[in-house]
Amino acid sequence: MLEIRDLNAWYAESHVLHGINLDVKKGEVVTLVGRNGAGKTTTLKCIAGVIARKQGSIALEGDKVERMQSHRIARRGVAFVPEERGIYASLSVMENLLLPPVVAPSAWPLERIFKLFPRLRERARSPGTTLSGGEQQMLAMARALRTGARLLLLDEPTEGLAPVVVKAIRDLLLEVKRDGITVLLVSQNVRFATKVSDRHYLMVNGTIVESLANAAVIDRENELLEYLGV
In whole angstroms, how far apart are CA 71 and each of 2, 40, 113, 202? 18, 21, 24, 29
Assign residue 137 the CATH number of its domain: 3.40.50.300
Which pLDDT score is estimated for 52? 86
**Domain encompassing residue 154:** 2-228
Check: pTM over 0.75? Answer yes or no: yes
Q: Got the DSSP string for the chain?
A: -EEEEEEEEEETTEEEEEEEEEEE-TT-EEEEE--TTSSHHHHHHHHHT---SEEEEEEETTEE-TTS-HHHHHHTTEEEE-TT----TTSBHHHHHHSSPP-STTPPPHHHHHHH-HHHHHTTTSBGGG--HHHHHHHHHHHHHHTT-SEEEEESTTTT--HHHHHHHHHHHHHHHHTT-EEEEE-S-HHHHHHH-SEEEEEETTEEEEEEEHHHHHHTHHHHHHHHT-
- 175 near 19, Cβ under 8 Å? no
- 66 near 73, Cβ under 8 Å? no
Which pLDDT score is estimated for 189? 86
Which pLDDT score is estimated for 230? 53
CA gyration radius, the chain: 17
- When divided into structural domains, the chain yields a total of 1
pLDDT tens, the chain, 230 aa long: 999 999 999 998 899 999 999 999 999 999 999 888 899 999 999 999 999 899 999 999 999 999 999 999 999 999 999 988 889 988 999 999 998 889 888 899 999 999 988 999 999 999 988 999 999 999 999 999 999 999 999 999 998 888 988 998 999 899 999 999 999 999 988 889 999 999 999 999 999 999 999 999 899 888 888 777 65
